[in-house]
Each structure stands twice: as C-alpha cells, then as structure tokens.
Amino acid sequence: MKLVDAFENFLQYCRFEKGLTNQTIIDYKDDFKQFLINFPKKSNVDDLSPSDLNDFTYDQAMNGRATNTLSRRLSTIKNFFVFLESEGIKKGLLTEEISKPKLEKTLPSVLSVEEVRKLLKAPDRTTDIGKRDFAILEVMYSCGLRVSELVNLELKQINEQERILRILGKGKKERIVPIRESALKALRIYIYEVRNKHLVIDKNAVFIGQNGNKITRQTVYNIVVNAAKKAEIDKPIHPHTLRHSFATHLLDNGASLRIVQELLGHTNVGTTQIYTHITPKTIVESYDLFWNDN
C-alpha cells in the first residue's frame, strides 16, 4: 500500500471513528508532510521501519524545532504506526523501546436510551435509503461496532439462525457479537428489500452505497450526524458515540466489565475501563446498594 494512501486511511479513522477535531487533522497532515520530507525515498508502507521514529525525532531536534512541536510530531507518527499495526497493514513497526501510544483519550458524548430511540426513528423507512440508514444505526448501536467493522461487514458474517455476527476486528481478530431481534429484522429488510434489488458491485459487502460499492466511513459519519440533527439531539455526536453508548448502557444494566470487553473486542480490560467510564447512574445505584445492605 502506498504510504499516502495508508495515512489517508489513518486520517479517516481519526476523523470518523475517533472524532478528532479539524485542527488536529490539519496538524496531523502537516506532521506527516514533514515526515515525508525527512524520508523522500519512502513511498510504500513496506519501506517503513521502527528506526524511522528515532531518526525523525533526531532530525527534527537538530533542526531546532520547538519542544511542543517536536513532541506533537513524534506523537503523530507513533499513532500512525500504531494504526498500521492494529489494522494489520504493517507489522513489526513497534519495538520494546517505543511505548505504544494511545490516540486522544477524549471520549465521545453518551446518548441516553431515550436519545437512542429518537435517533433510530430519524431515518424515513418508507424509502430505500431510509431502510438502509435505519439498519446501519440499529446494527452499530445494538452490536457496538467500530465504523471500520461496519463498512467491512460481509454477508457471510451474519448468522440469522443463531442471531450473531462474526466480526473481524483490529488485528484481524474475530469475535462473536449477539444481535438483537430489532436490529436483525432491520438488517433482513434492508438486504432483501433494498440491497438485492439495486446495483451491487461488491457482492460480499452488506452495506452498499449508491455506486454499488461498500459504503465509506464518511457516509456512515454523515448518516449518524444527519439523523442526530433530525432527532434534535443537541450534543456532539459521531459514529463512535453509538459504540460508546452501547458499552455504557450495558454497564448501566449490570453487564460485567469482562463481558463488555469481549463484545467491544478489546485485547486488554484496561482499555475497556478507560473507554466505558463510570456513569452517574452506576455511582448512585452502587451507593444505594451499600446503604440498603447496612
């Protein structure tokens, strides 16, 4: 894969899955531009090596870059390398000497259960596009999928009889996620009444755009944002909000952290602890439980 294409995928991930600001994306582009200036002969992902991080840092320092600028540029390239590793695009980029960084820890807003209901009612299900968008929103929330997992979902991953999805997550790790009946019904209606009667170029993909290929991250982003506007949800929202709401609502209703970890596809439970913050409802119920028992 060309290096510029891989970085564009990284930017889409940052924008549409992590919800990073436009200014952060602009900074990332500038940092990557500087990286390419440092390594003019590197054009493909296979050209990258772990030593590039140290070489880039050294060169930037020798050119008198300010400490804040230097730190940010190193962080950008580290995050890019982590992305390549986690997506299985390029292995062996991270060494023991280079600690694996995390992308920005700012969590998206959480929708209440009522707000989720309003969001799901937003698409006009009398139209083909509305049926597709409703199915997308239902599946994302009901299964807690990442955007990349949704856009890459294939027909063979759906098991209607057992009501499960076999999701291929980060690092090509497969996990089984249950799908509730309402989401499965929305999926059936979309596939049999909409998808199968339109142009389908990508025969394996579940969700198809108007060009017949699988939908893009940006399309999913637009679907979520437009539905939120129609539902008059007055808070920051993007696709990752549905995944975060899914996890939070499970914890609020008594699911164990270990189960949520498995459903989200997190390798370490520590990631789940950060991602699924303790909600006020959980705090109050835990407090009441203590005093009721004493």
DSSP, res 277: P
Three-state SS string over 66-84 comes to CHHHHHHHHHHHHHHHHHH
Give me 253's structure tokens. 């209703």
Distance spanning both ends of the chain, measured CA to CA: 62
CB atoms within 10 A of CB 11: 18
Residues 276, 233, 195: CA angle, nearest 5 degrees:
85
Q: Which residues pair with 178 in a beta bridge?
A: 164
Residue 168, classed as helix, strand or coil, is strand
User: Which residues carry out catalysis?
Assistant: 146, 170, 240, 243, 266, 275
- Residue pair 46/90 in contact (Cβ under 8 Å)? The answer is yes
- Residue pair 119/254 in contact (Cβ under 8 Å)? The answer is no
- Which residues fall within 8 angstroms of residue 127, CB to CB, at 6 or more apart? none
- Residue pair 144/177 in contact (Cβ under 8 Å)? The answer is yes
